[in-house]
Amino acid sequence: MKRNVVKALIAQLVLISSMSLLWAQQDTDAAKPPSAVDNTKINQRDKNQSEPTADSQKQTPTDRQLSQQIRRALVKDKSLSTNAQNVKVIAQNGMVTLRGPVNSDSEKQTIEATASQIAGSDKVTSEIQVKSK
């Protein structure tokens, strides 16, 4: 009987100490200042009227279908990260622009190859950036 009580007390102590460690970790994470993200250059580029943006995509059935096919192929590829699956796909007059951050060169190459296979290799412009670690 005493062994069961001792085991229960030890289990409770382990649980309480692990919860204390988790709370302490949360407190130190909350004390960290948020990392500064500077998108100034990207925002300046997107303000340029000659640069295609997602909201400037033509609403022709052909362009919508083209961007839709590429987007479906990217989302279907489970080897890609969430960043890669969310790359902007902008179709204008049959030309496709890819824009956004990805985690690796291989993801960038996969996205470019997928878009080229669907739209045609001479119809794809890549402005994809690989995030530095």
Per-residue pLDDT tens digits for 96-132: 999 999 999 999 999 999 999 999 989 999 999 998 7
Would the pLDDT of 34 be above 60? no
Q: Options 3.20.20.60, 3.30.1340.30, 3.40.50.300, 3.40.50.1860; which CATH number does 53-130 get?
A: 3.30.1340.30
Would the pLDDT of 14 be above 80? no
Average pLDDT of span 67-91:
92
Per-residue pLDDT tens digits for 52-61: 655 556 678 8
| Residue 87 pLDDT class (50, 70, 90 cuts) | very high
> Residue 48 contacts by C-beta under 8 Å, 6 or more apart in sequence?
none
Does residue 102 contact residue 129 with C-beta atoms inside 8 Å?
Answer: yes
49 vs 97 pLDDT, higher one = 97
Average pLDDT, the chain: 79
- Percent of the chain at pLDDT > 70 equals 67
pLDDT of residue 26: 59
For the whole model, what pTM was predicted? 0.61
Average pLDDT of span 93-97:
90
